[in-house]
A and B are shown apart, each in its own frame.
Chain A
Amino acid sequence: MANKLISEIGLPKSIANIFAARNINTAKEALSLTEFELMELLDVGMADVTSAVAHISAVVSPPYQTALFLMEQRLQNEQFAGHLPTRLKGLDDVLFGGIPFGVLTELVGPAGIGKTQFCLKISLLASLPASYGGLDGHVIYIDVESKFSSRRIIEIGATSFPEIFHKKGMAQEMAGRILVLRPTSLSEFTESLQQIKVLLLQQEVKLLVIDSMAALISGEYDQGAPRQHSLGWHISFVKSLAEFSRIPVVVTNQVRSQSRDEICQHSFQAHKNVETQEGTEKYDSHVVAALGIHWAHSVTIRLVLEAKSGHRYIKVAKSPISPPMAFPFIIASSGIALLDDDGIELRGQEINTIHCQGLDDIINFDGKKMK
């Protein structure tokens, strides 16, 4: 809409010609100028400019929908009312059915906690036939860290849905629906994103997984600021992909340790700052998400995976619809599984912190059990 040509939006011929003569061809160019600048540039009176700008604006403005209409449309057209069930009952309940279509869902947690396991499981779920509660579609899995394991995905499938995977040829069909891309640099990633856009239109793609977003740019910069800018375009692109094809998008994010001088507070909080810092001793197991605050604003749902006192937890840290809940989970041969579906409701800021106490013990412990 923004690149609409001024000559084609039905302005009076005389005005449209003046715009063309001054080389203002698109609505974007015209609207980036103020009305007075336009008056100077086009050399026409105030009244003409105002009506022209009003006309351009009216044409470019997106149409409105009422919220009621949005809801009815969603209930009618989409499987599971626009959610991909994760089969983790507690989590599905608080997320109103699962991972929502059309928005970004982020998984953040320390290495080895189970982010990739989560991604593998939902990829499998999305590719399942509709009769088994899947989305019956293709999955695009962008594997930046080269962690995708097809053997593991078959294992998860065979243990959780033996009736499908023991049918002849079904394992092949299910696994055949998951397309794995392995970009090695940011520019390659950009290229594959553009291909995906075309692919989404042609194929029945029902899920996009990016594992992980942070790996793409970590190493390229060591400070927060330039990193944010290099991702700006990708953020809007992925968001618009999700929205216009109405598919769930799952991205993972790494963690990094928090440097000591990065106390993120508002300036008016400064005086309180001194007390709180003395009170809470910062232990070295405290980490923060690798991609900064700019990124965090653009994800709609953030799930934190953490390790605390010998247990793995999955927390709903940011969500417009869910209460702040935490669920203990394990990684079994059937993939990720919740230990209890009721969860623990957390208060306050604790929902955002990422612990990784005793993570090594858990990983070793799980490893033994799996053998």
Chain B
Amino acid sequence: MEVCSLPLSATQRGKLISAGYTSLSSLSSASASDLARDLKISDGEALEILHVASRSSRSDNAEGSHAIINGAQNAWDMLHEESSLTRITTSSADLDNILGGGISCKEVTEIGGVPGIGKTQLGIQLAVNVQIPPHCGGLGGRAIYIDTEGSFMVERALQVAEACIEDMSEYSRFLRKDLQTFQVGLQSKDILENIYYFRVCSYTEQIALVNYLDKFITEHRDVKIVIIDSITFHFRQDFDDLALRTRVLSGMALKLMKVAKNFSLAVVLLNQVTTKHTEGSFQLGLALGDSWSHSCTNRVILYWNGNERCAYIDKSPSLRSASAPYSVTSRGIRNSTSNYKRVKMM
């Protein structure tokens, strides 16, 4: 391993190379004071360089554990982990089916669609559903709702939360088979209190907030879903430099993926659609361009099919591309057919 690959500043790297320290092994035998003298830097700085070097060399030869390369995981372990992974229900059994049981934790899911199709609705629904307690088959987590457009409606969240509580108490009554009213132990007030709402007013704030998520979630461990509604808005208005936009966006996507992995939570990005002129006709496509479409693990497109709202899995490493109808009712997202309750109970 070369010195060039160490996370050091350009001057330090230059000094190391010009003093003849080109490989890690040459650094491993040097003491801090030697290094300080050779490089004409302070002892403290030299110590720091050695620290960095020893850290990366250790990760280089970590053979003690079962992993061959540090940070890697073999496929079998991953399978095991995936099967124990919890998912967040969308409240529509058909939609859950094509999603393999719901929105999966540890992954970034992008949801796009035309105006008025129900993107924000789905976002609110998920923010409520993540709080379904474990004894009702949920995660019992909290939600972060990042609103870039100002479209979050508290009144609507209250409606959805109340409907969700009703459904839960019915569900648990069904499980226990006794007719006395069962208390879920959750009130719509609690549900609203567990939604952390951030209002983002510029793309700088959006980047800052994504950076800050790491710290925020460390302090609030039970956050299980992060919803950004929408990822697009500020990036569509304020940017002239498209190369910069791509760079900033992909940096953000990487950070979100990291957050999803580290805290095993679901990240849901809502995206807008745009018209694209291809092969002589206009087509709908999700906004932010082609390079962005690589950034998300899963991509779901919501669209009108005749008179029905449908969801289509556009991209996913593990799911078959399929589509399923759903509907937006006053109680939230539900199956397209009216017998949703029965399906859910089985």
Contact = CB atoms under 8 A, between A and B. Distances in A.
A62 B306 contact: no
A264 B155 contact: no
Contacts of A269: 303, 305
Contacts of B312: 266, 268
A42 B10 CA distance: 9
B285 interface: yes
Contact of A233 (B154, B237, B329): B237
Given A239-B149, A349-B306, A57 B197 contact: no
B274 A96 contact: no
A370 interface: no
Contact of A297 (B115, B216, B284): B115
B296 interface: no
Given A66-B197, A67-B192, A266-B284, A43 B116 contact: no
B204 A2 contact: yes
A242 B273 CA distance: 24
B272 interface: yes
Contact of B157 (A27, A67, A298, A348): A67
B187 to A, nearest CB: 10
A321 B32 CA distance: 65
B204 A261 contact: no
Nearest to A319: B116
Contacts of A58: 208, 212, 215
Contact of B115 (A31, A39, A293): A293
Nearest to A233: B237
A265 B284 contact: yes
Contacts of B248: 32
Interface in A84-128: 96, 100, 102-103
A81 B156 CA distance: 14
Residue among B192, B194, B238, B329 having the largest count of chain A Cβ atoms under 10 Å: B192
A263 B247 CA distance: 32
B150 to A, nearest CB: 5
Contacts of A66: 192-197
Question: For chain A, what secondary structure do more than half of its interface residues adopt (helix, strand, loop), or is it mixed?
Answer: helix
Given A317-B116, A318-B115, A71 B158 contact: yes
B231 to A, nearest CB: 12
A43 B189 CA distance: 50
Nearest to B118: A320
B340 interface: no
Interface in B240-258: 244, 247-248, 251
B116 A352 contact: yes
Contacts of B278: 267
Given A232-B236, A236-B237, A348-B304, A268 B314 contact: yes
9 closest A-B pairs by CB: A348-B307, A57-B211, A318-B116, A2-B204, A46-B7, A60-B208, A68-B192, A296-B115, A67-B195
Interface of B: 7-12, 48, 52, 114-116, 120-121, 124, 144-145, 149-159, 189, 192-205, 207-212, 214-216, 230, 232-234, 236-238, 244, 247-248, 251, 272-275, 278, 280-285, 301, 303-309, 312, 314, 321, 329-330
18 contacts: A34-B247, A39-B10, A57-B207, A60-B208, A64-B198, A66-B194, A69-B193, A70-B154, A102-B150, A264-B275, A267-B284, A269-B305, A297-B115, A300-B150, A302-B116, A321-B153, A348-B304, A348-B308
Given A39-B9, A266-B285, A352-B116, 15 more contacts: A31-B204, A46-B8, A56-B208, A57-B211, A61-B212, A66-B194, A266-B283, A266-B301, A293-B284, A294-B272, A296-B115, A296-B116, A302-B116, A320-B156, A349-B304
